[in-house]
Amino acid sequence: MTRNVPAAMTKSIGLQADPAFGEGRPAVVSFLLATLIFVIISCQNISSKNLTSGDSSLVNINIDSGFVSLGGEKQYVETLSKSSNNPILLFIHGGPGLPETPLLRYYNSELTDAFTLVIWEQRGAGKSFQNNPNPENMTLDQLISDAHELTLLLKKKYNKNKIFLAAHSWGSIIGMNLALKYPDDYIAYIGISQVINMKKGMEISQKWIEAKAKSNHDTSTLNILRRLYLKDPTLCSGDFDCFSKQYELLTKYKGTVYNNKIDEDMKKALTAYKDYKEYFWIKGYGFSIMHLEKDLFSIDFTDIKQINIPIYFIQGRYDWNVPSVLVETFFQNISAPSKHIIWFEYSGHNPLDEEAKKFNDIMINTIAKI
């Protein structure tokens, strides 16, 4: 439920199966291929020279990072900025348990032309997980509370009445809840590959796969789909395992990443920064899934009819991982001070990197100016 990790990266970033999450766990592995105010516990200023290895995306950007106490748990927060006068943009990553920090640095650092970009790595993810690999209170409600606590700290630190809020994939579940519960804290909400209802989304995805498979006389895929329909326990066990098996089928027909060439570029992105080269991605991911699977698959925003802040949905036209068609229906039925759905015609689930230039341009020249 985040930006896809390229297949070529399985060995170099440690995505091999880990016995701690069940022997082999092929479905999970394949899906992965899918300051004072801050109460800083440990803080350091990091230069782009120390972070990068030949990448120039962070030149002339001020980078501050450290651990912030949120809900009693030390969590990693990284801030990229060029001017303290810019509005704050809080970004909430997907997964659950998969930080997008290196990808944001690589593809989206241009956002600092218009925003102070704040990247939060949730408990159970990234450097937060490295700091404490067994955090307590791993629930959606707690993550929402952590994010809101961070919001209040950011508002106080930067003397802002409101901030921008952006969230991708799994993170959009947290983001949508924040927008609904705390509209007075946010200028606007930007949902990227927005989740509406995971189970309904799976039904839509499987129908799309079926149509593709039939048109290609793909009996192997049709047989696997039949077993998914029947909830065959020998194929997958539980919601997430079955979602992961479905993900494998989606990749055959470009229903996750539309631009396959991005795979190699993402490999470059993930190896551009020294502090993430040795990160063992599957550990935090497996831990987070283990605790948040029930929350993930019980979410349903279908009946929400009003959001009291401006909303922007950024959707890949070819996203069948978290089907954009569900967002389109939700968008038609929702009331908001202003609402916008922006289509990325050459993207699947990851418009932030599949069409990074367009994404950055919209954020800088349209959304930042509202």
Asked if 334 and 307 count as a contact pair (C-beta separation under 8 A), the reply is: yes
Return the sign of the alpha-carbon dihedral for residues 162, 167, 171, 172: positive
Say whether pLDDT at 38 is over 60: no
Which tokens belong to 350? 């990851």
Give the per-residue pLDDT at 75: 98
Confidence of residue 5 (pLDDT cuts 50, 70, 90): low
Structural domains of the chain, with CATH: 7-202+235-369 (3.40.50.1820)
- Taking the C-alpha atoms of residue 74 and residue 90, their distance in angstroms, rounded to an integer, is 18
More confident of the two residues 50 and 254: 254
Give the per-residue pLDDT at 59: 84
- Closest by Cα among 219, 266, 267, 228 to 247: 228
Confidence of residue 2 (pLDDT cuts 50, 70, 90): low
Confidence of residue 56 (pLDDT cuts 50, 70, 90): low
- Taking the C-alpha atoms of residue 286 and residue 244, their distance in angstroms, rounded to an integer, is 13
Cis preceding linkage at 310, omega within 30: no
Which tokens belong to 333? 């039925």
Of the given ranges (12-26, 79-93, 220-234, 275-289), which has the lowest mean pLDDT? 12-26
Give the per-residue pLDDT at 11: 32
- Closest by Cα among 209, 251, 200 to 227: 209
Which tokens belong to 22? 């069940």
The 10s digit of each residue's pLDDT in 247-301 is: 999 999 999 999 878 878 887 888 789 999 888 888 999 999 999 999 999 999 9
Say whether pLDDT at 37 is over 50: no
Say whether pLDDT at 43 is over 50: no
Confidence of residue 15 (pLDDT cuts 50, 70, 90): very low
Give the per-residue pLDDT at 279: 87
- Closest by Cα among 106, 38, 50 to 76: 38
H or E segment and range at residue 34: none
Give the per-residue pLDDT at 13: 36
The pLDDT mean for the chain works out to 88
Of the given ranges (38-52, 91-105, 170-184, 185-199), which has the lowest mean pLDDT? 38-52
- Closest by Cα among 5, 197, 2 to 94: 2
Which tokens belong to 276? 């993430």
Q: What is the pTM of this model?
A: 0.88
Percent over 90 (pLDDT), the chain: 78
